[in-house]
């Protein structure tokens, strides 16, 4: 196995689908958001993506079966544009496999007539945002206009969008598919369902979807409690809120 492989489970006919990416990254924001969307829309898995760039190992599932590290494509039929949602266990492990994996995802998207790419991620900031803002970056100015209307902030942050969230819209644009990356403000040291909610609100506003955020809200409350407990322990230890690891800059995005 020396190439990426796509295992097609179904062959849905999709209307100009929008590809939504949710691979693991900073604060797990994109992955949480995309996973929530899959559940809410009861999206249907139609393809699996395997890669020699993913960890060379299998996961043991609770029932004793195993699962290779992979990414999965789900689809959801919608009135205007259908959706393809990409969930994954990992980002590719090396630079060249990042390109290879993202390139082949875009190729698959093209074959399915994908009209736009929306990648989801976290944007690392100091402190834990009360109400995480959503920063955007796009391949086209017209997308900036459109997504600004739905609450994303453009031109406010700099730096690089690292990994699939960046590379997919980069390669997408090279192949003629416009794209936007939505990044929820996140502390980055914790899994962040709140930032995922923020990102999803912009996304569903744009897509004209109404979904429940209950589950994400509950997860967010659990995380908040956990953080509070940690803070209290630390106060008694005269310590401060844990900062993100010093070797990862605060503007780090995945």
The residues that touch its own copies, with contacts defined as CB under 8 A, are: 1-2, 5, 7, 50, 52-60, 62-68, 92-100, 102-103, 106, 136-141, 144, 154-155, 157-163, 166-167, 169-171, 173-174, 181
Nearer to its own copies, 182 or 216 (CB): 182
- In the complex, minimum distance from the CB of residue 106 to its own copies, in angstroms, rounded to a whole number: 8
Nearer to its own copies, 171 or 220 (CB): 171
29 dihedral zone (left: phi>0; alpha: psi -120 to 50; beta): alpha
Contact 203, 182 (CB under 8 A): yes
3-state secondary structure of 230: helix
Nearer to its own copies, 8 or 229 (CB): 8
- In the complex, minimum distance from the CB of residue 161 to its own copies, in angstroms, rounded to a whole number: 5
- In the complex, minimum distance from the CB of residue 150 to its own copies, in angstroms, rounded to a whole number: 14
Parallel/antiparallel/unpaired status of strands 18-22 and 116-124:
parallel
The DSSP output letter for 77 is -
- In the complex, minimum distance from the CB of residue 147 to its own copies, in angstroms, rounded to a whole number: 9
3-state secondary structure of 106: helix
Q: Which residues contact 183 (CB under 8 A, 6 or more apart)?
A: 29, 120, 121, 122, 123, 134, 135, 136, 137, 157, 161, 165, 199, 253
- In the complex, minimum distance from the CB of residue 136 to its own copies, in angstroms, rounded to a whole number: 7
Nearer to its own copies, 74 or 135 (CB): 135
Nearer to its own copies, 7 or 229 (CB): 7
Tokens of 211: 């979904």
């Amino acid at each position: 196995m020396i190439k990426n492989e796509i295992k097609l489970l179904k062959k849905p006919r999709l209307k100009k689908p929008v590809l939504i990416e949710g691979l693991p990254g900073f604060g797990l924001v994109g992955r949480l958001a995309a996973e929530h969307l899959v559940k809410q829309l009861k999206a249907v898995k139609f393809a699996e993506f395997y890669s020699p760039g993913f960890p060379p190992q299998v996961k043991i599932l609770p029932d004793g079966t195993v699962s290779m590290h992979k990414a999965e494509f789900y689809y959801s039929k919608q009135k205007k544009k259908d959706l393809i949602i990409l969930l994954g266990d990992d980002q590719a492990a090396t630079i060249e496999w990042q390109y290879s994996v993202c390139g082949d995802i875009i190729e698959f998207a093209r074959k399915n007539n994908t009209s736009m790419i929306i990648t989801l991620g976290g944007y690392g900031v100091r402190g834990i945002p009360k109400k995480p803002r959503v920063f955007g970056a796009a391949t086209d100015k017209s997308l900036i206009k459109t997504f600004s209307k739905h609450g994303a902030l453009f031109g406010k942050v700099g730096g690089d969008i690292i990994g699939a969230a960046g590379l997919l819209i980069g390669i997408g644009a090279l192949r003629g598919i416009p794209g936007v990356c939505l990044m929820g403000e996140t502390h980055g040291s914790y899994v962040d369902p709140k930032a995922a909610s923020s990102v999803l609100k912009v996304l569903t506003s744009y897509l004209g979807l109404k979904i429940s955020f209950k589950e994400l809200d509950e997860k967010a409350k659990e995380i908040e409690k956990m953080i509070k407990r940690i803070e209290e322990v630390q106060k008694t230890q005269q310590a401060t809120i844990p900062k993100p690891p010093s070797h990862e800059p605060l503007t780090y995005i995945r």
